[in-house]
Structure 1
Amino acid sequence: MIRETVGHLRDLPRYRQILTTLARYGYQDVVAALRLETIVRPLERVALGEEVAQLDRPRRLRLICEELGPTFVKLGQLLSTRPDLLPESYTNELAALRDDVRPFPSEQAEAILVEEYGRPLAACFASIDPTPVASASISQVHRAVLHDGRTVALKVRRPDLHKVVAADLDILKNLAQLAERRLPALAVYRPLALVREFERTIKRELDFSIELRTIKRCQAQFAGDATAHIPFVVEEFSTPRVLAMEFIGGVRVDDVAAIRGLGLDPGEVAVAGARILIKQIFQFGFFHADPHSGNLRVLGDGVVAPLDYGMFGQLDPRTRERIADLLIGLLAQDVDGVLKALDELEVRGEAVDARELRRDVGELVQSYCDLTLATIDLGVLLRELVGLIRRHRLLIPPDLVLLIRSLVTIESTGRALDPKFDIARQLEPILRKLALRRYSPRRLMTQAASTAKDVQRIATLLPDLLSHSLESIKRGELNVKFDLQGFERLVRQLTRASNTLAVGIVIAGLLVASSLIFRGGASSLAQLGYGLGMALSLWLIWNMSRNS
């Protein structure tokens, strides 16, 4: 407690700066609700300027983030991806936050490089451009040439940024705790959990060694894929504060004129970019979470090159299947399926009116009843779904939020290249494949093996459990009454049910495998599988009717 108090006293000037900025931009109500007016009062009261007073609250919130520096710029960018938490007017405004800020002096950048490498820069590079090619809230990029002639981009973290971010995070966590206690309307969204998630994200972005590993992982995933170019990294000149990676030229993915100037079809470029993201999401479960036009380059041969690897999302195989279930449930007008998929995706909330939620999901489902997956406007669908989630104050897991943002972003980027572009058409085959994969023979065999392991584990534990129970009975600590009437009949019924289930699984595996083989062209083998499956099905029906 003493240490925490000392820390708050040390951060008091920053507290005052943050609260005064909120008050100056018209957020006095927030400061008052947090009961922190006493921190602001000793300072000179600065009234809203006439120009600022004419701005709406979302615009003023963006200006607050820009004025308070890198931590708050990143926080605003994170909030721009959370339409489940903020109205669309706020998310749209925060999405416009400028990440290009004034560069820090090149002398400081060179000093950081020398400190990290422990030797003169002339020993590392043939040349370094002192003028940065890009400058953001966390880092700036300098172009350099290695002694072997390769051109690299040196991403250098801003000096002392780690200390600034650490202090701001302490303040944000304290303010979040106050908000949960004093602002009931915000408490349902768990501000402290949100700040902790933001802390995890920004700390990962500050450590460039994590970004280096992400690039290497993407290189392995897209090895041999001619449509994507992942930049090389120079590990010798990369540290937690510096990242040395290939300097990518090309043109921005939203520069339609330049793409046509390369002799390329913008529509084909849009499809190539979408397929890269879809492959990352549904095949690898590790995807670029910020695929906006500034982070994508098109090279002369039509290859798409993602640039920034600081923000990636992850989805396990089960989550990918649940996403497929959600979209397919919408198309099949299956309200129960949609609700089940949302629950299994952990889209949940407190004090939810289940009847009202079911009614709203039913209305959403009905609005898409005459459409197929290939004709759906996925961006509109996802926005409507997020709107429904927000109305019911449900919370979305962070990686699922990143997924929704990525799909909406890549669709809007694709439509800027080709108005007829439809990402749902690109999604259709892989979603159907995910839906069918759970019935593959290999999957069924794996599940059967897992079940057998569980049974074996229970059988191993059972003797010890019975032994302990009998000892307890002997000591009079446990009273058990057994009724074994009809026990042998129960065993027979359980054995029969197990055999029936096993045959059913085999039949399902045969039918699915035969369907896949038939689609592959081996019709005679598929017919044999169908015949065997039909014979087993008839036997199963006869056996069930005989024992009923």
Structure 2
Amino acid sequence: MTKDPTLKAERPDLSREREGLALVRNTARGALRIAETLGVVGRQGAGWLLGDRDALPRRLRHTFESLGATYIKLGQFIASSPSLFPEEYVQEFQKCLDRTPPMPFHYIREMVESELGKPLAEAFEWVDPQPLASASIAQVHAARLRNGAEVVIKVQRPGVRNVLLTDFNFLYVSARVIESLAPGLSRSALSGVVEELQAGMIEECDFLQEARNLEAFNRFLAETGNTAVAAPRPIASHTTARVLTMERFHGVPLTDLEVLRAYTDDPAGTLVTALNTWFSSLMMCDFFHADLHAGNLMLLEDGRVGFIDFGMVGRIRRETWAGMMELFEAIGNGDVESMARAMAMVGMTRDEVDVQALARDIGALQERLTDVDASALVQADRNDREVNQLLTELVRIGEGHGIRFPREFALLLKQFLYFDRYVQALAPELDMFNDQRVDMFGTLDQLPGGDEPLH
């Protein structure tokens, strides 16, 4: 049977027409989103002008939460970045929670069926209509495959990627305007933060990339002989860019000490296993898990530690990690020259840094630095005011010498803050910097539960 040549000629036109319609729809949605953003900001500002004078950080947090996914993530970034933002904002945005009302189950069904190309009942034996979790980017449901395997399905919220792109484009333009109006502002600080956040969040919307992250982390565990830790295995046949199906874990969050005691008589040892695995991944895996909060680190029923949710990851050069450790140590010792060298190593700059000049500028802080223990950097909720002020001043001094700390700096610092909360809950006597069981450089001969040496 011969093909009608007129159909061939029509297809490119139809394709262009569909692309044009999609562009119009996306442009219209973008315009509506910007209008919505300006409306929320306007209402919050009007309320403040009319006498509802709560503190500005609190007002800003409420505004961010009203605007949804992008701004909630931005708020969480502020909360975890005492080196970049004023203390009162860091404290207020600790309350910025990534919880959103659940989507009705019919949206979940429609998205899964559209992505997998088959009815839900053909793809799964059972799916729980009640979500296990509902966040700004995705919703998670328990399910069972046709072969009986227990899984969870992570389903992306409709249109969230377009919302993120619109929001970040708007934020970037706004940041550049602010920077042009305030030339004394940190060098590209606002627009740089926006660009880095956009890259991270857009990557979170690619569930195929998250599946690859899971596979890579499981390979890292296997290659290092680490049988004490596990990550879910993705189900490739049931995974797309917007639907991720993976092995289901049963266990408890690592911070729930009372429940943990029913699983293990050595909570501190469990924490050390998690810490050493994470530190080892900095050097021996393609990435590190950048969001190990209380919901993403579990003690499983079989005694292993479960690392879950690999949507947010970071990548760090060996030199950057070594520089950060040198920076922590130098702060603890009050050694301004070592601190200057470490800042030059960690920071991003196109120009060669005059380390001696940088050291002289840091020297003005010497009295305060001498009295600050290095462990205070990861104990921000024990010593907030001093640590936040110290890090902010160090970043400001570095920027005066052309240094801008990379996104990984904030991600690593945030993770240290998470780890400190684990330490307080499970092993308050543990000192991450000095305990011989904790190996920050991943150079232990063998990780707990492993049989093969690390190389």
Residues in 2 aligned to 1:432 and 1:288: alpha-carbon distance in whole angstroms: 16
How far did 1:269 drift? 2.4
How far did 1:380 drift? 4.4
SS at match of 1:222: helix
Deviations 1:378-419 (A, max 9, x none): 514975752332453633111122111112211222212222
How far did 1:433 drift? 8.3
How far did 1:189 drift? 4.4
Residues in 1 aligned to 2:26 and 2:430: alpha-carbon distance in whole angstroms: 53
**Identity over aligned pairs, percent:** 29
Paired residue for 2:409?
400
Residues in 2 aligned to 1:266 and 1:427: alpha-carbon distance in whole angstroms: 17
Deviations 1:499-546 (A, max 9, x none): xxxxxxxxxxxxxxxxxxxxxxxxxxxxxxxxxxxxxxxxxxxxxxxx
How far did 1:200 drift? 0.8
Deviations 1:452-491 (A, max 9, x none): xxxxxxxxxxxxxxxxxxxxxxxxxxxxxxxxxxxxxxxx
Is the 1:378–1:423 Cα contact (8 Å) retained in structure 2?
no
SS at match of 1:322: helix
The alpha-carbon distance between structure 1 residues 416 and 377, as it changes in their structure 2 partners (threshold 3 A), is same
Higher RCO (C-alpha under 8 Å, 6+ residues apart): 2
Structure 2: any 5+ residue segments left out of the alignment?
1-22, 381-386, 444-455
Paired residue for 1:242?
243
How far did 1:354 drift? 3.9
The alpha-carbon distance between structure 1 residues 341 and 418, as it changes in their structure 2 partners (threshold 3 A), is same
Are positions 1:306 and 2:300 aligned together?
no
Deviations 1:110-149 (A, max 9, x none): 1111111111222221111122111110010111101221
Residues in 2 aligned to 1:178 and 1:7: alpha-carbon distance in whole angstroms: 24
Is the 2:34–2:166 Cα contact (8 Å) retained in structure 1?
no
Indicate which of 336, 349, 358 corresponds to 2:362: 358
Residues in 1 aligned to 2:72 and 2:123: alpha-carbon distance in whole angstroms: 33
Paired residue for 1:424?
433
Paired residue for 2:57?
58
* Higher alpha-carbon deviation: 411-420 or 177-186: 177-186
* Higher alpha-carbon deviation: 310-319 or 376-385: 376-385
> Residue 40 of structure 2 aligns to which amino acid in structure 1?
T
Paired residue for 2:256?
255
* Higher alpha-carbon deviation: 68-77 or 185-194: 185-194
The alpha-carbon distance between structure 1 residues 391 and 175, as it changes in their structure 2 partners (threshold 3 A), is closer
The alpha-carbon distance between structure 1 residues 283 and 364, as it changes in their structure 2 partners (threshold 3 A), is farther
Is the 2:343–2:398 Cα contact (8 Å) retained in structure 1?
no
Residues in 1 aligned to 2:441 and 2:206: alpha-carbon distance in whole angstroms: 38
Is the 1:271–1:414 Cα contact (8 Å) retained in structure 2?
no
The alpha-carbon distance between structure 1 residues 46 and 316, as it changes in their structure 2 partners (threshold 3 A), is closer
Residues in 2 aligned to 1:175 and 1:64: alpha-carbon distance in whole angstroms: 16
The alpha-carbon distance between structure 1 residues 426 and 302, as it changes in their structure 2 partners (threshold 3 A), is farther
Residues in 1 aligned to 2:150 and 2:317: alpha-carbon distance in whole angstroms: 36
> Residue 367 of structure 1 aligns to which amino acid in structure 2?
D
Paired residue for 1:525?
none
How far did 1:107 drift? 0.9
Is the 2:84–2:392 Cα contact (8 Å) retained in structure 1?
no
Structure 1: any 5+ residue segments left out of the alignment?
27-44, 435-548
Matches within 5 A, 1:305-384: 305-330=306-331, 334-346=335-347, 354=358, 357-360=361-364, 362-363=366-367, 366-367=370-371, 376-380=375-379
Matches within 5 A, 1:486-505: none
SS at match of 1:82: coil
Paired residue for 2:34?
15
Is the 2:83–2:391 Cα contact (8 Å) retained in structure 1?
yes
How far did 1:106 drift? 0.9
Deviations 1:48-82 (A, max 9, x none): 676xx253111111111111121211222223232
Residues in 1 aligned to 2:145 and 2:122: alpha-carbon distance in whole angstroms: 10
Matches within 5 A, 1:34-49: none
* Higher alpha-carbon deviation: 194-203 or 12-21: 12-21
> Residue 428 of structure 2 aligns to which amino acid in structure 1?
P
SS at match of 2:295: helix
Residues in 2 aligned to 1:81 and 1:189: alpha-carbon distance in whole angstroms: 20
SS at match of 1:72: helix
Paired residue for 1:164?
163
Deviations 1:305-325 (A, max 9, x none): 111111111112222332343
Paired residue for 2:268?
267
* Higher alpha-carbon deviation: 239-248 or 292-301: 292-301
Deviations 1:241-291 (A, max 9, x none): 011111112011111110012243322222222222222224446211111
Residues in 2 aligned to 1:131 and 1:121: alpha-carbon distance in whole angstroms: 15
Residues in 2 aligned to 1:326 and 1:55: alpha-carbon distance in whole angstroms: 38
Paired residue for 2:69?
70
Paired residue for 1:413?
422
Is the 2:57–2:92 Cα contact (8 Å) retained in structure 1?
yes
Q: Which has the higher helix share?
A: 1
Residues in 2 aligned to 1:432 and 1:257: alpha-carbon distance in whole angstroms: 31
Residues in 2 aligned to 1:428 and 1:361: alpha-carbon distance in whole angstroms: 33
SS at match of 1:137: coil
The alpha-carbon distance between structure 1 residues 429 and 203, as it changes in their structure 2 partners (threshold 3 A), is closer
The alpha-carbon distance between structure 1 residues 416 and 238, as it changes in their structure 2 partners (threshold 3 A), is same
Residues in 1 aligned to 2:301 and 2:165: alpha-carbon distance in whole angstroms: 43
> Residue 289 of structure 1 aligns to which amino acid in structure 2?
A
Paired residue for 1:34?
none
The alpha-carbon distance between structure 1 residues 310 and 433, as it changes in their structure 2 partners (threshold 3 A), is closer
Is the 1:285–1:320 Cα contact (8 Å) retained in structure 2?
no
Is the 2:298–2:305 Cα contact (8 Å) retained in structure 1?
yes
Are positions 1:132 and 2:131 aligned together?
yes
Is the 1:377–1:424 Cα contact (8 Å) retained in structure 2?
no
Residues in 1 aligned to 2:121 and 2:33: alpha-carbon distance in whole angstroms: 40
CA RMSD in angstroms, aligned pairs only: 3.2
Paired residue for 1:531?
none
How far did 1:20 drift? 3.7
Is the 2:75–2:96 Cα contact (8 Å) retained in structure 1?
yes
Residues in 2 aligned to 1:262 and 1:363: alpha-carbon distance in whole angstroms: 47
> Residue 363 of structure 1 aligns to which amino acid in structure 2?
E
The alpha-carbon distance between structure 1 residues 426 and 286, as it changes in their structure 2 partners (threshold 3 A), is farther
Residues in 2 aligned to 1:331 and 1:82: alpha-carbon distance in whole angstroms: 20
Paired residue for 1:96?
95
